[in-house]
Amino acid sequence: MGMRGGPGQFRLDQYDVQLTKVDPKLYRRLFAFVRPYIGRLVSGILLMAVTAISGLVGPYLVQMAIDGFIKTKQPEGLNWIALAFLATAFLNWWTSYGQTYIVSWVGQTIVYDMRDRMFRHLQKQNFRFFDSMATGRIMSRLTSDVDAINQVVSSGLVTIFADSMVLVTIMVTMLQMNWRLALVSFLTIPVLMLVMKWFTNRMRKAFMQQRRKSADLVATLAESIDGVRVTQSFTREEKNQGQFNEINEQNRQASMEAVSVWAMFFPSIEVVSSMGITLVLWYSGVLIRGGAPDVTVGQVTAFILYLNRFFMPIRDLSQVYNVFQAAIVSAERVFEVLDRVPEVQDAPDAYEMPRAAGAVTFENVAFGYNPDKIVLQGINLTARPGETIALVGPTGAGKSSVINLLARFYDPQGGRVLVDGHDIRKVTQYSWRSQLGVVLQDTFLFSGTVRDNIRYGRPAATDAEVEAAAKAVGADEFIARMPQGYDTPVNERGSKLSVGQRQLIAFARALCADPALLILDEATSNIDTYTEALIQNALKTLLKGRTSFVIAHRLSTIRSADRIFFIDDGQVVEEGTHEELLAKGGRYADLYLGQFRALEEAAAG
C-alpha cells in the first residue's frame, strides 16, 4: 500500500537500531501526539477494513458467476452479480478515498503539532544550545525526522491494519473455497520470504550508501555556494570542479547500485506470484485427474485472481518493521531537542523589571562557555545611567563574552550582573531583553522589506517612526535611492547591501526599538569614508541619552566614550577615560600608540 514507489521513497533501515532495545517510554511519548486524534484514526482504520474487504469481493463474485450461473445456464443471476460488482466498486471507491483522507489528515496534523512544539522550543533555547548543534542538524530534526514519524501514521499503520486484513480475508476465503488448493498456494509464502530477505539486505546496504553519498553532495554544494566568493578570488574553480565531480560520480554510482537492486525487486515478486499460479494450475490438474469433485472452473479463476493480490500485502508488511525502526530513531532525535532544558530560564519567582534607568554593575563575574575553561574572571565594572562604556582589548580577550552576559544570553558561573540594582537573573528574560538594543558585529537582516527590518524590534512602530529612525541615523538617503525605497525587499542576510548600509539599517532598527540600554559590537571591517562619517554621526544619535556598552574599534567611538575598560585574557586590566589611560602609559596607551596614531597620522596626510 503506502510503500510502493521509487527508490526515493524507500526508507529501509535508515539507522542501525534494534527495535527490541527501544525504551517503552518512547512509544508512550509518541502516542501522546496521536492521542488527541485517536477518534479520527479509529474511524480511518474502520474504513480501511471496509476497503480491504470490499476489494476482495470481486474474485468471489467471479467464482459465483462462473460456477453458479454460467455453468448452470441461469443468465438472470448474472444481472445480480453485475450489480453487486458495481456496488462494491463504488463502496471501495468511497471508502478508499475516506480512509486515505482521514489518515493523512491525522498524519499531517501530527507533523504540524510536532513542528510547532519544536519551533517554540528552539526559540527558547539559549546560545549554548546553538553553539553545540549545527544548523543543518537542527533543521533535519524538524524536517526529515518529523517526516519519518509521520510515515508510521500515514503508511505504517495503514499497512499493518489494511494489509493484515487483506491477507487474512484472502486466506480464509481461499481455505473456505477449496482448502487443498489453498494449502498448495500457501507453499509459495516461504519462497517469498526468502526472496524478500535477500533483497532487503542488499537494498538496505545500497540505499544507505546512496543516502550517504547524496548527503555528501548536498553538503559540498552548500559549502561551495556559500564560499563561491572566496573560491573565485583564489581561482580555485578548477580544483573545486574536480572535487565536486568526484562526489557527483560517487553519488551516481551509489544511485545506480540502489536502482538496479530495486529494479529487480518487483519482477522477482512477480515470478514468485506466477509460481503460485503455476502451482494452483498444476495441482488443479492433479485433483481433477484424481477425480476430486470439488474443483470448479470458478474456483481456479478466483484463486488466480486472489494470488495476484496476495503478495503485495506480504511485501509491505515485511517492510513495516523498517518504517517503525526509522521512526523510533527519529523520535529519539526529536525528543532530544524537546527535552533540552533551556539553560537560561526565568526563576520561578521572576518579576518584571521596570523600565531601566541604565545603571549597570558587574560584581566579580566569572564565566566560561565550558565550565572547565574559564573565559572571564573577577570582572568588576559599573556604568552610570546614560554613560557610554567602551570595551577594548585584543582578539579573544572576552569582550563579546561580557556583553553576552549583560544580555543574559548566558548565565555567569560566579558573581552577579545588576541593572538598577536588579540581579538580571531574578527578573523575567522578556522584561529585561525587551529593554535592550543589540547591534552585533555581523549584522543580520531578515528577508522582507527594509521597513520590516527596521521595525523588527518593535513591530508596532508606525511608518513615520520607522522613517524617523532611519533619518536620525542618516540611513534615509541611501534607502530613498533604492528602487522601491522603504519597501525594497532585502534578500537573505541583506547580501545586496553594502556592509556600511547594513550597519546603518541595524542602527535604525536599534533606534526604532528605543531601548533603555544599548549593546554594540562594532564591525571591524573597513568602510568608505563617506559611510564612515555617516556611521559616526549615527552612533552619536544612537548613544545619546542611554547607557551603552560598545565594543569599539573606531578611535572616534573610543575617544568619545565616558569610560574605557581594557580587557585582556578575561580580566579588566585598565579602566579610565582616553586621556587618563594615555597618561597612565599602560596597555591602552601601547595599543593607541601602536595602532591608532599611525592611522590618525595617515588620515591627516
Could you give the CA distance from residue 296 to residue 319 in angstroms, rounded to a whole number? 36
Q: Do β-strands 436-439 and 517-521 pair in parallel, antiparallel, or remain unpaired?
A: parallel
Question: Of these partners, Mg ion, ligand ATP, none, which one is at the site of residue 369 (CB under 5 to 8 Å by kind)?
Answer: ligand ATP
Contact 88/37 with Cβ under 8 angstroms? no
399 or 563, CB closer to Mg ion? 399
Question: Of these partners, Mg ion, ligand ATP, none, which one is at the site of residue 131 (CB under 5 to 8 Å by kind)?
Answer: ligand ATP
Paired with 568 in beta bridges are 571
> Closest approach of Cβ 368 to ligand ATP, in Å?
8
Stretch that binds ligand ATP, among 142-150, 218-226, 229-237, 388-396 (CB under 6 A): 388-396
The answer to the question of residue 135 lying near ligand ATP (CB under 6 A) is no
| Cβ-Cβ contacts under 8 Å for 574 (sequence gap 6 or more) | 564, 565, 566, 581, 584, 586, 587, 588
| Cβ-Cβ contacts under 8 Å for 249 (sequence gap 6 or more) | none
Half-sphere exposure of 97 (CA within 13 A, CB side): 5
| Cβ-Cβ contacts under 8 Å for 244 (sequence gap 6 or more) | 220, 221, 224
Q: Do β-strands 388-392 and 414-419 pair in parallel, antiparallel, or remain unpaired?
A: unpaired
133 or 468, CB closer to ligand ATP? 133
Question: Of these partners, Mg ion, ligand ATP, none, which one is at the site of residue 437 (CB under 5 to 8 Å by kind)?
Answer: none
The dihedral built from the CA positions of residue 493, 498, 500 and 504, taken in this order, carries a sign that is negative
Contact 437/518 with Cβ under 8 angstroms? yes
Amino acid identity at 365 = V
393 or 457, CB closer to ligand ATP? 393
The answer to the question of residue 443 lying near ligand ATP (CB under 6 A) is no
Interface with ligand ATP (CB under 6 A), residue from 396, 448, 489, 585 = 396
123 or 395, CB closer to ligand ATP? 395
One character per residue 337-376, x = contact with ligand ATP (rule: CB under 6 A): --------------------------------x-----x-
Question: Of these partners, ligand ATP, Mg ion, none, which one is at the site of residue 398 (CB under 5 to 8 Å by kind)?
Answer: ligand ATP
Cβ neighbours of 240 (radius 10 Å): 16
> Closest approach of Cβ 122 to ligand ATP, in Å?
17
Interface with ligand ATP (CB under 6 A), residue from 399, 425, 502, 554 = 399
Residues touching ligand ATP: how many (CB under 6 A)?
11
126 or 429, CB closer to ligand ATP? 126
Paired with 407 in beta bridges are none
The answer to the question of residue 126 lying near ligand ATP (CB under 6 A) is no
Could you write out the DSSP letters of every residue in 447-461? SEEHHHHHTTT-TT-
> Closest approach of Cβ 401 to Mg ion, in Å?
8
| Cβ-Cβ contacts under 8 Å for 108 (sequence gap 6 or more) | 150, 154
Residues touching Mg ion: how many (CB under 5 A)?
1
| Maximum separation of any 2 CA atoms in the chain, in Å | 121
Binding to Mg ion (CB under 5 A) within 202-231 occurs at none
Could you give the CA distance from residue 274 to residue 281 in angstroms, rounded to a whole number? 10
Nearest Cα to Cα of residue 11 among 269, 334, 329:
329
Stretch that binds ligand ATP, among 102-110, 150-158, 230-238, 398-406 (CB under 6 A): 398-406
The answer to the question of residue 398 lying near ligand ATP (CB under 6 A) is yes
Could you give the CA distance from residue 293 to residue 237 in angstroms, rounded to a whole number? 80
> Closest approach of Cβ 128 to ligand ATP, in Å?
7
Interface with ligand ATP (CB under 6 A), residue from 23, 116, 131, 246 = 131
267 or 371, CB closer to ligand ATP? 371
Reduced to 3 DSSP states, what percent helix, strand and coil does the chain have, rounded to the nearest 5? 65, 10, 25
Listed as own residue / partner, the contacts of 62-71 with beta carbons closer than 8 Å and 24 or more positions apart are: 62/298, 62/301, 62/302, 62/305, 63/177, 63/296, 63/298, 63/299, 63/301, 63/302, 64/298, 65/298, 66/296, 66/297, 66/298, 66/301, 67/296, 67/297, 67/298, 67/299, 68/298, 71/296, 71/297, 71/298
Question: Of these partners, ligand ATP, Mg ion, none, which one is at the site of residue 36 (CB under 5 to 8 Å by kind)?
Answer: none
Binding to Mg ion (CB under 5 A) within 397-436 occurs at 400
> Closest approach of Cβ 555 to ligand ATP, in Å?
16
Cα-based distances in Å from 200 to 10, 90, 430: 11, 36, 53
Interface with ligand ATP (CB under 6 A), residue from 63, 96, 251, 400 = 400
> Closest approach of Cβ 524 to ligand ATP, in Å?
8
> Closest approach of Cβ 391 to ligand ATP, in Å?
8
Contact 547/373 with Cβ under 8 angstroms? no
Binding to ligand ATP (CB under 6 A) within 446-505 occurs at none
What residue has cell string 500485502? 313
Binding to Mg ion (CB under 5 A) within 364-403 occurs at 400
Interface with ligand ATP (CB under 6 A), residue from 51, 126, 159, 401 = 401
> Closest approach of Cβ 523 to ligand ATP, in Å?
11
233 or 370, CB closer to ligand ATP? 370
One character per residue 265-294, x = contact with Mg ion (rule: CB under 5 A): ------------------------------
Which residues contact ligand ATP (rule: CB under 6 A)? 131, 369, 375, 393, 395-401
Which residues contact Mg ion (rule: CB under 5 A)? 400
